[in-house]
Amino acid sequence: MNIGIDRLSFHTSNYFVDLKTLAKARSVDAEKYYVGIGQEKMGIPSPDEDVVTLAASAAYPLMQDGELDDVELLLFATECGIDQSKAAGIYVHGLLEMSARCRTVELKQACYSGTAGLQFAIGFVARNPDKKALVITSDIARYELGSPGEATQGCGAVAMLISANPRLVAIEPESGYYTDDVMDFWRPNYRSEALVDGKYSTRVYIHALLESWKQYAEESGRALDDFDRFCYHIPFTKMAEKAHQKLARKLGIPIEKKEMQALLEESLRYSRLTGNCYSASMYVGLTSLLDTSEEDLAGKRIGLYSYGSGCVAEFFSGVIQSGYREFLYTEQHRNLLENRIELTYQQYEDIFNYGVPTDGGEYVFPQYKTGPFRFSGISQHKREYESLVD
């Protein structure tokens, strides 16, 4: 029995900053961002958007299509938890009017937790082949203003329906994984921006790739040329390209730039426009690949590399199913990305500094352009959400 991703839907904020604007404000050559790290825009969440609204908006098309009716497991992956106790997924469960007969929990391990969710969901479906799971990855990448990480900020969420006989991607059983206790990137509970040892983090990302590939290759007996495409975790698109080059070189098959672009480019298109989406990043890459590849990818094998700082990494693979294009939300994703509103530098800084009040008072947030749900305010330390659809 094949198990894997049956539907896949993505959402990001309706606001962005062009990295040319940031470059000007920071007196940096814009080519450093556009070419050096391979990023063009960063998605900026409005004050009435958070990981809950991004997640619920990502899953909304599945709700409209009646795909959530028989979901009995909701796994919410994020590193931007909004509460130390209550899982953010419970708010999403409510907004999406899902059945009470459902297990709901939040998962955390930096950018890796979505992959943990996917693998746990596959285990659930293996035991209950007639049941479905919903895995949502949702994050907002924030670094200090003026820091090296600033240009890699972004936000986004991906909702994945996991089932037997999936219509999009069957996930193969072999996997290579790797854990190491390192401080490359972290965010103590009292901070709203991540701390990062940037250059070190890029080296750990690559080391963890080589280690997890080793186990995957031993288990599967596959080599790099058994893959038609690759989707990497994408903190910035250049990182994915560099990692693939390193892996190929390590395996003794150095790769030309053109050849590498053919393997990776389609998966990097959305991320170049959204920025890092932490736990959602690799799945934004997968959505981008499926949505934008001109080639019919049915029957093609893709290699997936998930990395979460701290760190945990996993290399695994999936095979794209025939007829997959019929079940994508390509048009919705294109409309979203094409109709975002550009922020000036000052607007960006104002939104960045807006902050969530912590004094237990009554607050109603101004209404920005969001998806179908918004974070409307706070009352007595309780977050309030509003559905903008009937």
Residue numbers annotated as active site: 79, 111, 233
272 binds ligand HMG (CB under 6 A): no
Nearest distance from residue 276's CB to ligand HMG, in Å? Answer: 5
Nearer to ligand HMG, 232 or 373 (CB): 232
Choose the binding region for ligand HMG from 145-153, 213-221, 251-259, 317-325 (rule: CB under 6 A).
145-153
Cβ atoms of residues 15 and 351 within 8 Å: yes
Choose the binding region for ligand HMG from 25-33, 86-94, 115-123, 362-370 (rule: CB under 6 A).
25-33
Cβ atoms of residues 12 and 277 within 8 Å: yes
**Taking the CB of residue 123, how many other CB atoms lie within 10 A of it?**
13
Nearest to 320 by CA among 5, 1, 10: 5
Residue 270 carries which side chain, given as an amino acid letter? Y
Choose the binding region for ligand HMG from 24-32, 126-134, 251-259, 294-302 (rule: CB under 6 A).
24-32
377: β partners: 364, 384
> What is 2-32 written as a DSSP string?
-EEEEEEEEE--SEEEEHHHHHHHTT--HHI
305 binds ligand HMG (CB under 6 A): no
CA 298 to CA 282: how far, in whole Å?
Answer: 20
Options 233, 244, 272, 374; binder of ligand HMG; rule CB under 6 A:
233
Nearer to ligand HMG, 201 or 317 (CB): 201
Question: Which of positions 159-218 make contact with ligand HMG (CB under 6 A)?
Answer: 184-185, 196, 198-199, 201-202, 205
Question: Which of positions 100-129 make contact with ligand HMG (CB under 6 A)?
Answer: 110-111
CA distances from 320 to 2, 193, 224, 287 (A): 11, 37, 17, 12
Can you give the binding site for ligand HMG, defined by CB under 6 A?
A: 29, 31-32, 35-37, 79, 110-111, 148-149, 152, 184-185, 196, 198-199, 201-202, 205, 233, 235-236, 239, 276, 278, 307-309
